[in-house]
């Protein structure tokens, strides 16, 4: 059993990331359930996806039940940290997307070291990297989700080759090479 929570903001590709991981699990014959929550996602709102590989229970991961969190935005990692197990792993993109409340001056955006420090108090391991920069290096910032799939792939009970095959089938044909490079960059990071 492996429980993964994927979080980010609308437009970062969290839903496609969970679809790719779910399809890879199915391709390997593993039972998988998932659930997604996205409110106002098209406007940069929070997106939360639950992917449960091998679980016999419902599709929602309980608080304190996630083996891993893949966060495409640092503040979203903090918002959803309650789902991580104490022995869990948080994989966090360090590039932040400033929410409207920060633009309006109502709320200061916490410093990255504060966010990461708080996460370290919740789980066993925090891996933070500018995965957006790796997506740019691959050739498209839109490949952030695939870079992060590469990063989380070391922990998933799925074969690297299966994930790559599903990625190639899930992205537009003209972007396959960029996305496979993105996956490799994330995995190497």
Whichever domain contains 148, its CATH number is: 3.40.920.10
Query: Hey, which bits of 54-153 come out as E strands?
Result: 66-71, 84-93, 125-129
Q: How many domains does the chain have?
A: 1
pLDDT in tens, 46-68: 889 999 999 888 899 999 999 99
For residue range 65-88, list pLDDT tens digits in order. 999 999 999 999 999 999 999 999
Q: How distant, in Å, are the alpha carbons of 18, 37, 164, 180 from that of 187?
A: 17, 27, 11, 11
Alpha carbons 168 and 177: distance in angstroms, whole number:
8
pLDDT digits (tens, 9 = 90+) for 97-130: 866 555 566 678 889 999 999 999 999 999 999 9
* Range of the structural domain that residue 59 is part of: 2-188
Q: Give the pTM.
A: 0.92
Contact of 116 with 128, CB cutoff 8 Å: yes
């Amino acid at each position: 059993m492996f429980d993964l929570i994927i979080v980010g903001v609308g437009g970062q590709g969290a839903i496609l990331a969970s679809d790719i991981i779910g399809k890879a699990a199915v391709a390997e014959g593993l039972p998988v359930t998932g659930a997604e929550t996205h409110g106002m996602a098209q406007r940069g709102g929070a997106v939360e996806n639950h992917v449960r590989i091998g679980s016999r229970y419902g599709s929602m991961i309980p608080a304190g039940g996630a083996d891993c969190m893949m966060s495409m935005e640092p503040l979203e990692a903090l918002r959803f940290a309650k789902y991580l197990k104490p022995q869990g792993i948080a994989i966090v993109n360090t590039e932040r997307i400033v929410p409207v409340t920060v633009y309006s001056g109502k709320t200061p955006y916490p410093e990255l070291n504060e966010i990461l420090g708080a996460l370290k108090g919740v789980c066993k391991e925090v891996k933070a990297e500018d995965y957006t920069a790796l997506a740019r290096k691959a050739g498209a910032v839109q490949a952030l989700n695939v870079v992060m799939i590469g990063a989380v792939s070391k922990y998933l009970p799925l074969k690297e080759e299966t994930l790559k095959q599903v990625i190639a089938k899930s992205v537009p044909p003209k972007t396959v090479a960029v996305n496979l490079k993105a996956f490799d960059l994330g995995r190497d990071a």
